Structure 1
Amino acid sequence: MADEKSPEYDEKVIQHSSKSDESDRAETESQIEVLRAAGIGLGENDPTEPVLTLRMWMIGIVFCLVVSGLNTLYTLRTPSITISASVVLLLAYPLGKLWEKVIPDWSVPLGSWSFSLNPGPFNTKEHVLIYIMSNLSVYVRLGADVLTEQQMFYGYRAGWGFQILITLATFLIGFCLAGLFRSIVVVPKDLIWPGVLSVTALTTTLHNVGQDQVQSSFNTWKISRFAFFAIAGTASFCWYWFPDFIFPALSTFSFPCWIAPKNKVVNQLFGMTSGMGLLPITFDLFDNAGKTYSAKKIVNSATGYKLDVQKYLNYSPVYMPIVYGLNMMGLSFATLSALLVWSFLEHRHFMADAARRIVQLLKGSLPGRTSTVQNDETGAKEVPVWWYLIVCAVALFLAIFSVEYWDVELRWYGVLLAIVVALVFYPPLAIVYATSNLKINIDIFCRIVAGFVFPGKVLANIWFFDIGYITTIKGLYFAQDMKLAYYCHIPQRQLFLVQCVGMVMGTLSSVGVLNWSLDNISGVCTSAASNGFSCPYSTTHFNTSLIWGAIGPRRFFSNHIGYSALLYFFIIGAILPIPVYYLSRRYPNSMWKKVHIPLFLGGLNYLPPATGMNYGSWAVIGLTFGWIVRKRAFAWWSKYNFVLSSALDSSVGVAGVLIFLTVFFTGASKHFSWWGTKVYKDTCDYKSCAYLAIPEGGKFGV
């Protein structure tokens, strides 16, 4: 664990809830057990270990370029696939060990400075930095979807200059959010960021860190963590071929629907594609004849993608499935207001202290002042706050220059407003993500704000969404990587440099592959696209921007359908945390202390497309391993739980890539067909049959 030399580890900052009662002490001890089980703290920090080695730079940059490009390419395709950073973590290990064994230990002089081609054993710090650099590739695709939407659906080719600058700007804004709020969302010890625990478990397992300590500490199976990882990973790799290719019906194992494929009630009750509970669900928007809403009837290139009001009135307002409307707007509104109120009630003093600390660190780190920059958790110099402020200035310049010079309708004040939205929501979003690994969506909120400020301007809507929402998601990932570096004793200044290089490399790779794909793939972003490159995510963004950008929130909420009632969810969400807060203070040992209103509401934001199957399997697995196994077989859980998680993640990732490239991409899957590949497709669940028929007049509504 880290030492506490830096003032950022002050008790006022770290422990923003009282630890005086027994329940809080038990919670702290439980967190320590979780971290130790994930391999954190098993190895001592060695400050003499090389970090920024040629080996790390070469392997990291190659993976960053390749995986960023492939993930950008795959985001255009359906079915899509993501090469996760856990796959890179697994593949980088043998390459690093091969370099260690093969490359000679030669010193290369560069004037007064020199470096070694092979500085010794491939260590965990190098390995984790390779992972962090390639991890940028997972979320570079978020910006690629918006660029594709603008070029292929709105017909505006802004060119390479705009694409590179705006992509880099959104990266830098997210990077600034994580850096400026580091003392709030990274440093506190009780924010453990569970999303990184499988990474630390796999890293320590591969490098055999603390294995003797683990073996002697727990009286359980004698098999080593590495051997357990190999067996579990191999079994998972083999099994994944069945639900993904050989027997895909297993992935939607709704056998009641197979028995009664035409029964609408059965399919809506038990279906796992469009059915959930007692409510009918579908994923499209509809018109008043029950058909998919045709956006081209009201907005097209001939009108400059501005709304044709008369055609809109003659055609139809937008109708949404009830669950989609309640969730994507009602629950989203309630979640946002609940998040802000909860943050004020629970963390107002902590955030105020941290804000004052940021100002103090900034003043002390300015040139010409007596330096108050302390050492970080590794004993190395901390990153001064003014470094991040310089990055913020560069990001702001790039964003404003991009939208003004290339005239994408989002003016300079729109950029500033979007950044304000990101600044307001980032701290509470990060705190929730750091404790639960759950991202709460603010995308619809950004769309609606842009719709009010820039009515009828679809390009302004998509870039406000990009700068206001996607930057916060990138900021969450940057902060998560900062926490990972903190756990792995990586100096923060070295991490800063690696993340900056990764942003540049990932941007260049993504933009290059995107332009090649859009110019060379036949029929790209259409239903006739070769190999399924129909741009599904950009299509979804396109439909959303048409609603909030072209039709706009004023028309949407003022029609006769009654969607304006969903705005009351803002009030409901703001009220709910208040009684819970006071009840938890009045009865600190009761269940109220464990009730988290924003987390509860935000967890439902994945309905749809998530179904009862997703939530049910999550609950079963979570309760089994997080409660039953941990309680009844704690030694086994401590030794193998996170190793099992990393084995499943990495093996499924490798299997998914292999199956996609060898079976689906080559077209070999077209020649494989049997009952298990078709049975789930012949049901009302798969075809999204509606329970109620269209009225005799052919339309519903007034």
Structure 2
Amino acid sequence: MTVSVEGPDSQATIPGGTRIDVLDDEFNDSPIEQVRLTVPITDDPSVPALTFRTWVLGLLSCCTLAFLNQFFGYRQNQLYISSVSAQILVLPLGKLMAKTLPTKQFRVMGRTFSFNPGPFNLKEHVLITIFANSGSNSVYAVNIITIVKAFYRRSMHPMAAFLLAQSTQLLGYGWAGLFRKYLVDSPYMWWPDNLVQVSLFRALHEWEMRPKGGRTRLQYFSLVFVCSFAYYIIPSFFFPSIGALSFVCWIWKDSVTAQQIGSGLNGLGIGSFGLDWSTVASFLKSPLATPGFVFMNMLAGFVFIFYILTPIFYWSNVKDAKKFPFFSSSTFDSTGKRYNVSRVLDQKTFDINLKEYNSYSKLHLSMYFASTYGWSFAGLTATISHVALFHGKDIWDMWKKTSTAAKDQLGDIHTRLMKKNYEAVPQWWFHIMLALMVGLSIWVCEGFGKQLQLPWWGVLLACAIALTFTLPIGIIQATTNMQPGLNVITELVIGYLYPGKPLANVTFKTYGYISMSQALMFLGDFKLGHYMKIPPKSMFIAQLAGTLVASSTFFSTSWWLLNTVENICDPSKLPEGSPWTCPSDEVFYNASIIWGVIGPLRMFTKHGNYPEMNWFFLLGLLAPIPVWLLSRKFPKLEWIKLINMPIIIGTTAVMPPAKAVHYLMWFTVGIFFSFYVYRQHRAWWARHNYILSAALDAGVAFTAVLVYFTLQSNGINGPKWWGQDSTDHCPLAKCPTAPGVVVKGCPVF
């Protein structure tokens, strides 16, 4: 369909003779008000995008973030460094390159090329951030490699590991290409999260004069970076205990109950706090980038789940809770001892030995860890219910408009500018990528001695699940900014179909869940490029190159650490003060036992210990209904609509590996900045908040790497003293309190 405009301010004609006033917002701009207020409707197609500067700074950002995030992924405090850090830091570097690189032009393959095509521009900056975004998003398959080598203590073919990392990340391109027309080109799929990025890009590229008596954004970033860099030497080398200070344990040194209440790492964390930025931002990401209403929802969920329900369940001895630690992600047998997985797992076939399992014990979990699976069940159904009730009509209306717009090829001003000024990515590029990655995935699983255990039909079933859910979940994310996870569904499906095989379970989950998640990340980035008027082919090349480089860097970093850090992921054998405790990988490993070795049939039905957890599916489905009814009855009370049951229910989703002290410090810092600073010093907040977050992250990251390469890799782990212990000095918090349970280092009741 073509749109013909009779004059600059007159009317447009669409098929059927309908005439539209060009001044109408929904035709001449965007039908979404938030987009109209944020995204400019101008474009200069002559501005270069995929330049030499883009490649250099993009690949540098991608490699740096991938290395740092994987490096921190194995540490006790897993600092996540987002692409915002690179987004801020590359701006002065790009301008420096524009001033210093030669401007001479060359002829290469019939095209003009220059190392310095002019001033550093916004489109280059966006593409560099796309590269950086690839490096900031973790490679989920690395968890599989880690548990095989560090927890199951088995060898793994390096090529199989490398191709697993690549194929799981690249498979999502296929789904992205299939649904690009609906989720990117449609003006009604507006991806709210991208508007924050657009605002930040515009703020960074607006001309800035140093305020009188103040500092520019870059000067402020540099000052905070230096302070963060200098301070982190204390918690990373001299005084690791400063990351979690639990005073209650120091006062009542011989009381198990007091330490369960006071421990920030293994208990309720009452009175516990940390003086380390990585404690604040490690698992929940930076609190400075989180909206205020999210804190209120999460605080309510945290208090209800962790401070009310968990103590009631534990001290009421629900499911023999007192036989096990108050807070632990480990697995246990019926006597309260660690579950001997090697006893029920045939080491030759790496499959469950049912005879040994039946003669040994059912699998037991700490009451809190068992309940986290129930809350994850509830979170999935609550998200579906919440979206259907609060956004269902809007999503359906937008989807009808999207279908009509796609059929008639009618888009908003952004879509028309993109189609007019740039050549689209051919659909066959995505089709070839999809066919190659499906074939590669099957070969990786069936080849290399079938180390990953997943048969070819399992790969195809995982692909079918990802294909089925990408569009509906993409619509939800593109309109509400919420993404329901498929990890529970994929674990359940393969756990019932192919029980007893731990690696098959986690591999299926990775191909089924992560390929969909990657597809939505690609589509979100494509929409950002759509708003910023980046040539689609340049976007595709940057995303593909960034994914390949990031996957390779994540894999290389993990393989290097797994083979060079002695006893990595084994706290009982690590030297005092060592940070290489792998808390997230331990949770992933235990999940492979629960869902893979034992399986949902022997865990969450009458054959296991936790069949009641299935009621959480219904609980989550019903939870948003009272809030929705109240919002309908009292439509003028806007605060009711801010009550988000999926957020409340999912508050403790990363706990473990996150601990009480991480949540408490995250709430403290986040609420202070989101409410007090935002309300009382809004101008300062608007100018410095995100820059402060990026600088703190960057300072911690570079200090940790420097300390590791110069000291810790040479066996120098800091002075031997009380503060060198990376725990919170609450050893009794891990002890059971049931009578007769014998655990080393614990009193027997």
Partner of 1:24: none
**Change over 3 Å in CA distance of 1:253–1:154 after alignment to 2:** closer
Q: Separation in 2 of the partners of 1:697 and 1:521?
A: 28
Residues 341-377 of structure 1: CA deviation (Å, up to 9, x unaligned):
2233344445445656776777789xxxxxx974339
1:534 to partner: Cα distance: 7.7
Alignment of 1:314-329 (within 5 A): 314-327=359-372, 329=373
What SS class does the counterpart of residue 604 from structure 1 fall into?
Answer: coil
1:582 to partner: Cα distance: 3.5
Does 2:566 align with 1:574?
A: no
Alignment of 1:440-459 (within 5 A): 442-459=486-503
Does 2:475 align with 1:400?
A: no
Q: Separation in 1 of the partners of 2:737 and 2:400?
A: 57
Partner of 1:269: 261
Q: Separation in 1 of the partners of 2:601 and 2:563?
A: 37
Residues 135-182 of structure 1: CA deviation (Å, up to 9, x unaligned):
32333542222234456737464552x445443332223344556566
CA contact (8 A) 2:104 2:114 kept: yes
2:142 equivalent among 132, 141, 144: 144
Q: Separation in 2 of the partners of 1:271 and 1:15?
A: 52
Alignment of 1:7-22 (within 5 A): none
CA contact (8 A) 1:76 1:534 kept: yes
Alignment of 1:495-574 (within 5 A): 495-511=539-555, 538=585, 540-558=587-605, 562-574=609-621
Does 2:240 align with 1:252?
A: no
**Change over 3 Å in CA distance of 1:226–1:63 after alignment to 2:** closer
Alignment of 1:266-665 (within 5 A): 266-276=258-268, 277=307, 278=311, 280-302=326-348, 304-327=349-372, 329-352=373-396, 374-376=416-418, 380=422, 388-405=430-447, 407=450, 408-423=452-467, 442-482=486-526, 484-485=528-529, 488-511=532-555, 538=585, 540-558=587-605, 562-590=609-637, 591-665=639-713
What SS class does the counterpart of residue 603 from structure 2 fall into?
Answer: helix
1:258 to partner: Cα distance: 1.9
1:696 to partner: Cα distance: 8.9
1:465 to partner: Cα distance: 1.2
Q: Which moved more, 1:505-514 or 1:97-106?
A: 505-514
Q: TM-score, normalised by structure 2?
A: 0.75
CA contact (8 A) 1:258 1:679 kept: no
Residues 64-105 of structure 1: CA deviation (Å, up to 9, x unaligned):
356545655665677766665455446545553443333311
CA contact (8 A) 1:197 1:642 kept: no
**Change over 3 Å in CA distance of 1:247–1:177 after alignment to 2:** farther
Residues 625-645 of structure 1: CA deviation (Å, up to 9, x unaligned):
223332333323222222322
Q: Which amino acid aligns with 1:238?
A: A
**Change over 3 Å in CA distance of 1:676–1:95 after alignment to 2:** same
Q: Separation in 2 of the partners of 1:272 and 1:494?
A: 47
Q: Separation in 1 of the partners of 2:474 and 2:62?
A: 25
CA contact (8 A) 1:333 1:445 kept: no
Q: Which amino acid aligns with 1:654?
A: F
CA contact (8 A) 1:456 1:550 kept: yes
Residues 425-470 of structure 1: CA deviation (Å, up to 9, x unaligned):
5567668878998876543442222110112233321211111223
Partner of 2:57: 59
Q: Separation in 1 of the partners of 2:552 and 2:727?
A: 42
What SS class does the counterpart of residue 281 from structure 1 fall into?
Answer: coil
RMSD over aligned CA atoms reads: 4.3
1:272 to partner: Cα distance: 0.5
**Change over 3 Å in CA distance of 1:494–1:14 after alignment to 2:** same
Q: Separation in 2 of the partners of 1:479 and 1:401?
A: 27
1:323 to partner: Cα distance: 0.9
Q: Which amino acid aligns with 2:345?
A: V
**Change over 3 Å in CA distance of 1:46–1:211 after alignment to 2:** farther
Partner of 2:103: 105
CA contact (8 A) 1:105 1:117 kept: yes
What SS class does the counterpart of residue 418 from structure 2 fall into?
Answer: coil
Q: Separation in 2 of the partners of 1:305 and 1:48?
A: 59
What SS class does the counterpart of residue 665 from structure 1 fall into?
Answer: helix
**Change over 3 Å in CA distance of 1:503–1:441 after alignment to 2:** same
**Change over 3 Å in CA distance of 1:630–1:433 after alignment to 2:** farther
1:675 to partner: Cα distance: 3.9
CA contact (8 A) 1:272 1:613 kept: yes
1:250 to partner: Cα distance: 2.7
Q: Separation in 1 of the partners of 2:242 and 2:107?
A: 59
Q: Separation in 2 of the partners of 1:696 and 1:246?
A: 35
Partner of 1:22: none
1:332 to partner: Cα distance: 0.6
What SS class does the counterpart of residue 653 from structure 2 fall into?
Answer: helix
CA contact (8 A) 1:69 1:510 kept: yes
Q: Would you say how many aligned residue pairs link Structure 1 and Structure 2?
A: 654
Q: Separation in 2 of the partners of 1:362 and 1:392?
A: 23
1:211 equivalent among 208, 211, 214: 208
Q: Which moved more, 1:308-317 or 1:440-449?
A: 440-449
Q: Which amino acid aligns with 1:648?
A: L
Does 2:268 align with 1:224?
A: no
Q: Separation in 1 of the partners of 2:59 and 2:73?
A: 21
**Change over 3 Å in CA distance of 1:103–1:222 after alignment to 2:** closer
Unaligned runs of 5+ in 1: 20-27, 366-371
What SS class does the counterpart of residue 636 from structure 1 fall into?
Answer: helix
CA contact (8 A) 1:377 1:489 kept: no
Q: TM-score, normalised by structure 1?
A: 0.79
**Change over 3 Å in CA distance of 1:377–1:605 after alignment to 2:** farther
**Change over 3 Å in CA distance of 1:547–1:251 after alignment to 2:** same
CA contact (8 A) 1:521 1:529 kept: no
What SS class does the counterpart of residue 534 from structure 2 fall into?
Answer: coil
Q: Separation in 1 of the partners of 2:664 and 2:555?
A: 39
Residues 628-665 of structure 1: CA deviation (Å, up to 9, x unaligned):
33233332322222232233233333333333333433
CA contact (8 A) 1:198 1:646 kept: no
Q: Separation in 2 of the partners of 1:518 and 1:430?
A: 35
CA contact (8 A) 2:352 2:500 kept: yes
Higher helix share: 1
Partner of 2:283: none
1:251 to partner: Cα distance: 1.8
Q: Which amino acid aligns with 1:225?
A: R
CA contact (8 A) 2:587 2:657 kept: no
Q: Separation in 1 of the partners of 2:579 and 2:237?
A: 17
Residues 275-303 of structure 1: CA deviation (Å, up to 9, x unaligned):
1144521221111222221110110323x
Q: Which amino acid aligns with 1:273?
A: L
Q: Percent identity?
A: 29
Q: Separation in 2 of the partners of 1:464 and 1:660?
A: 35
1:240 equivalent among 232, 236, 240: 232
Q: Separation in 2 of the partners of 1:448 and 1:696?
A: 34
Q: Which moved more, 1:251-260 or 1:236-245?
A: 236-245
